Structure 1
């Protein structure tokens, strides 16, 4: 059968019909909201390259958490800006570190909120890399040492779980990091704490504003030796398969917008939940265009997030979460 018998427009005729047959439904339940916490008092500083996103000191964080809960968002992802940085990122695994303090506070204010802890060293090292840096004896070149970094990452994950984190989200891209953290959590009595692994994390130019926010830009070189080449997709399968074998409970693709093919690939290939990280530059480009009146921010954001879900994302980490959640329920 063909036209004129088949008329695909019939099911698009009214808003109610379109809603009835809609294949992908975006919900506030899909969102994870990233928050940056820092030491000090009375600090709510907007990040210049990320309009509407702030650094919060703990005394002002509660209001933000209340706002997140009121928007209907069920999960936050915490990043910390420490007072002290050193070569080994010791503030990352300090029991009284900024992330650990924030976890305890958030679980007190909103026990039902799922608190995810980013588990990495880059914000806490003075060199800005995600592991321990060694100088190669023969060449004199500085390089990130994979295996010696794992122990510090385990200590960080365990300290975050002890503080009350519901989920550990390691983002360092060291080989074997999921297995090391899973064993460390299990040995410490946190066998029920799941791991949301940054399984497929590309060495992307879309991270620029985040590095401004987290004060985590590398002081030398780049992260291309441990984050993935943006040109590769089969490598993404190897990374995901390694993490699954090592005990990951959820997989992540980061960034999202330029890698929707990778999101779909993981969704089709594996049975674990897939998260997409709608990263800082993806957010900031929309904000800049909207500020200039070039786009309809609400329409663009909801279309973009729907596209990520349609591509296969079960969870979406996005700085748009509060706005998007309110738009979805008809506010504003």
Structure 2
């Protein structure tokens, strides 16, 4: 056998060994990765995100979001947790306190917005953990826990603005690379409480990069502690792809467009389609965007009202309330020209 043949054989064996080693390493990474295990089981992936905009004063509390990603339905639900949400009451407290109170107390002592935000997030987790539907894996902690800084023009307290900012980022061809580059460093825009490994970031970025704006659902955390159980029940039922039960559809229409007659026009259009509008009138103030609040904590009813007016269905927000007289509130904003049927009705 010639020297060249011998070298070829050894080169082939070395390459084969490298391939086998790479495959073994990839298999080990996949077995040891928590996100990979969740995705294999088709379970929900949870995250608690503390969000503030660039330049936000430290004295102001961040906005918290509960994020639930479902590989089964390929969807992401973002539930805003306002700072005014009541926190779990301590035995020595005579009056109810809010998450904002927690932030303010810690910031007053330490003048450290990071420590104050972490204390606020811990109280939010304690609130979630009071309900039996909250996952108990990992001692009740979410799968991911992080701080996120968004551009100054994005107001985290308004979920629609947040989704509008996210949608083009997710659609970028190089989103996975940008995500790993931004999320992989513990500085700047993203800070992790427990930083994930590179392989975990690749998995998370791959899943997020497959989302479209229609795959991102918005929800409002309930203001009443009595509604926490049905709220979480709805979130995790949707994540498992379970169908929502039927609900009586009653509607109120509010004009927030600063243009007279819009609520009446929308009401006539809805009633012509056989929908039950109980009330129409003016909103408390003007709003730039049209939105649909589903008071039953579901999305289906509000989506049907949006479709009846020819409005983009992604403007739906699930906002569970108790003892409400209407199931859907349609708030017609200054962008009502995007609602094709409502626009055609004016012609």
What's the TM-score once normalised by structure 1's chain length? Answer: 0.26
What's the TM-score once normalised by structure 2's chain length? Answer: 0.25
- Structure number with greater CO (CA < 8 Å, separation at least 6) is 1
Instruction: Mark the structure with the bigger radius of gyration.
Output: 2
